[in-house]
Structure 1
Amino acid sequence: MTQAQKSKCFYCGKEFNNYVLCPDGHSICEECHNKPIIDKSREIYLKSSSMDPYFIFDQMLQQLYVPMLGCHHAFMVAGALLGALKKEGSVKITDKIVDEVFSRISNQAIGGYCGLTGICGIVPAVGACFAYLLGSKCGTDQEQKTVMEITSEVCKAIANLTGPSCCKAYSWESLRIAQKWLKKEFNISLPGSMEKIICYFDSFHPHGCRQARCPYYSKNKN
């Protein structure tokens, strides 16, 4: 929908301004939509023994029922990065840090707003991770500039993968860019490569997969 309508969450009963309805007319608030996956994925990435953010993200996709689209991907991308960094050990990642990063993400990652405002929730998710690591806040100099450069690159990459939108492709591409900037800013080299990513979710896309136009499409890897 392009105009908000007052809706009541099917699960918790909360009233909210809504832009997304299921085919049967049901509405789900952002918290009820995201919280189960956020909670379960957190167990995965904080306990993972891998330093590979792609592998950690794939663990979430394999072990959880993850809807094809939605801002739970923003938290999963941030979780994969923070989990990999925690295992790598160059920077200290605590539960308190994860809580802070997720709190920031929740203020900007809202389902459907990729189309309504042009900003996918994964963009502020990557930004929140780097803002915390760099100590960026409103009024800082180079720190804020660097975070904005990172999010600008993520946003551009996502735009190049759009038509229609795909949260899986956005997630993998964002991890690639984050991996590059971690090396540039902190000299942290996380393992893993987008070249090994093969997507098998094309048949689940409600708006239609981009197929040959997507670098992660399975038949493009053959």
Structure 2
Amino acid sequence: MKEECLLCGAPLEYLTRGRKMECALCHKKERSKTRCIKGHFICNQCHTKGIDQVLTLCLETTSANPVEILDHLMAQPFCHMHGPEHHILVGASLLTAYRNAGGEIDLAPALVELQRRGQHVPGGVCGFWGACGAGISTGMSLSILSNATPLSKEPLGLSNQMTARALDAIGTIGGPRCCKRNSYLSLLAAAAFVEERFHLSMPVPAIRCAYAGQNNQCLGKVCPFSPGS
């Protein structure tokens, strides 16, 4: 088996109903539906340990290519094959590319707010909520860019439309889950949406996934980012 449980490497299992579990690393107890077949549960906080480095990494880059930024973030030790860290990395890549492409945004506080929001989206929501966290992350970004609140008119509409575009792209491919594939699909949808609505272009070259060998559920040639597709 390739990477699954962060503690022992065993395959994960998803329960239909959540239960209170103790994190095998920090021993904090929280309700979850995910554990490995040997019973190990890793909480979201432990799974995303090191994610605070995203702020520095994003502020340092001058790239206007959101996929290039995402690839750099996913290559860091704090990012795993799958996990809730992608719910932050996708939006962070989009906001950073937007700034570097000439968009008006105070990037540092925007990234802090994006991380705060993204940390509230737990792992596994793609199957349990019917809304992948990578897609939701693009909607969070648009919400921040447009200063949306629940009382907004156009900004609220834009952020929800962005999430819908990303989720439609993810849903068209279907499962099983792949955080890398869904992150790429979300960013492609976001780049097109930003150009359409904000008239700002972010270059996105052809994507060839380098993570197929780490994903036990890889779709192979069915995936649009597979080297063999």
Q: Is the CA contact 2:55–2:112 (under 8 Å) kept in the aligned structure 1?
A: no
Give 3-state SS (helix, strand or coil) of 1:192's partner: coil
1:213 aligns with 2:222: yes
Give identity over the alignment, percent.
28
CA distance in 2, matches of 1:72, 1:26: 19
Residue identity matched to 2:62: S
Matches within 5 A, 1:53-92: 53-64=66-77, 66-92=79-105
Does the 8 Å CA contact 1:85/1:93 hold for their aligned counterparts? Answer: no
Contact kept? 2:95, 2:107, Cα under 8 Å: no
State the partner residue of 1:197.
Answer: 207
Q: In the alignment, which residue of structure 2 is the partner of 1:100?
A: 113
CA contact (8 A) 1:179 1:189 kept: yes
Would the aligned equivalents of 1:124 and 1:151 in 2 still touch at CA under 8 Å? yes
What is the distance in 1 between the residues matched to 2:79 and 2:154?
A: 37
Q: Which moved more, 1:10-19 or 1:91-100?
A: 91-100
Tell me if structure 2 keeps the 8 A contact 1:41–1:64.
no
- Could you tell me which runs of 5 or more consecutive residues in structure 2 were left unpaired when the two chains were aligned: 1-14
Q: Report deviation, 1:94.
A: 3.0
Does structure 2 conserve the Cα–Cα contact (< 8 Å) formed by 1:123 and 1:154? yes
**Deviation string, structure 1 residues 168-203 (Cα, Å, up to 9, x no partner):** 11111111111111112221111123xx21112222
- 1:21 to partner: Cα distance: 0.9
Confirm or deny: 8 A CA contact 1:161 1:170 kept in the other structure: no
Q: Report how far residue 131 of structure 1 moved.
A: 0.8
Q: Deviations over 1:13-60 (max 9, x none)?
A: 211001111233211111111132x22333322211211111111112
Query: SS state of the match for residue 86, structure 1?
Result: helix
d(CA) in 1 for partners of 2:112, 2:75: 24
Which residue of structure 2 lines up, in the alignment, with residue 172 of structure 1? 184
Aligned equivalent of 1:181:
193
Aligned partner (choices 13, 18, 27) of residue 4 of structure 1: 18
Please tell me whether the aligned partners of residues 161 and 169 of structure 1 are also in contact (alpha carbons under 8 angstroms). no
Matched AA of 1:171: S
CA RMSD of aligned residues (A): 1.6
Using structure 2 for the length normalisation, give the TM-score. Answer: 0.87
TM-score, normalized by length of structure 1?
A: 0.90
- Give the distance between the partners of 1:153 and 1:16, measured in 2 at CA: 32
Shift of 1:65: 5.5
- The count of corresponding residues between Structure 1 and Structure 2 is 215
Amino acid at match of 1:218: P
> Quick check: 1:82–1:93 contact (8 Å CA) kept in 2?
no
